[in-house]
Amino acid sequence: MEYAKNILETIGNTPLVKLNKLTADLPCLVLAKYETFNPGNSVKDRMALQMVEDAEADGRLKPGGTIVEGTSGNTGMGLALAAIVKGYKMICVTTDKQSKEKIDILKAVGSEVHVCPTDVAPDDPRSYYSTAKRLGEEIPNSWYVNQYDNPSNAKGHYLSTGPEIWEQTDGKVTHFVVGVGTGGTISGVGKFLKEQNPRVKVWGVDTYGSVFKKYHETGIFDEKEIYPYITEGIGEDILPKNVDFHIIDGFTKVTDKDAAVYTQRLAKEEGMFLGNSAGAAIKGVLQLKEHFKEDDVVVVLFHDHGSRYVGKMFNDDWMREQGFIK
């Protein structure tokens, strides 16, 4: 008989799926690394499990302990699955920008959820960064994960996502394109692919209101670049240690409107019911058209599932309120 001993054993080995209609004008083959096939419906299951297992191994996470993390939703879901199987309590700290579905899903898997204001500075005591760190200090026998600076984040993708992409493309991958938030995916996958073939180009998709693109191009952390934005799961107002700018060849920025519209288009034209960052990622690929040649194999990673955005990007009333559709 063939079966997984628990849900965590089903993480990884997600398929590559060819894009057709949205990429018809590109000269190259575009393949989506379809991460919603993970049990928590996102790429974050990989690094969540890696971070938990590494913390168990070195004693930061002890039996019966409490896991505390600031999350936009997906990392919290991956950590919650690990907590359920391994017997930990889970506390997620998130922001009021995140969709109601994400908060409800975290509660559905037994997590305690704290919601913090989005529009405050990272070092403000009300921010979700500060709140998660404080809870990790105050709660006995707890472990604050800190996915932004935790090296196990990128390590998880170096050990799993990168090797899978290399093997699935038979080493023919020429470009890797992915939205950048904590930086673990782009840095871990990019490091592995460039070790196999230094000519592989690694592109990050950023959003307006985030600091990544300008910092990568100038080395300047420009606070004038920071302002509220709607796109979920990518961009930052800080520089996480997991973002290895030396591995990244460049960034392209995608507007909130384009990210939302292309999230709908992926569903309606490709049958791919995906999250907001997937819309940003595929629009980023289209914006990079001039970098692709006929024989290139472009792998774009799609982070999470459309079920988390039913009240937002898949709700036409909400889309009209934002001015994204007429």
- In order, the DSSP letters of 2-46 are ---SSGGGG-S-PPEEE--STTTTSSSEEEEEEGGGSTTSBTHHH
Please write down the HEC assignment for all residues of 291-304. HCCCCCEEEEEECE
Phi, psi angles (nearest 5°) of residue 155: -60, -40
Q: Is 257 a catalytic residue?
A: no
Q: Please state the length of the chain.
A: 326
Contact indicator for 177, 195 with CB cutoff of 8 Å: no
Which candidate in 5, 33, 44, 201 is catalytic?
Answer: 44
The DSSP secondary-structure symbol of 317 reads: H
Per-residue burial over 152-191, b if 16 or more Cβ lie within 10 Å, else e, is: bbbbbbbbbbbbbbbebbeeebbbbbbbbbbbbbbbbbbb
Could you tell me which residues come within 8 angstroms of residue 324 by beta carbon, excluding any fewer than 6 positions away? 256, 257, 260, 261
- Give the residue numbers annotated as catalytic, written as ranges: 44
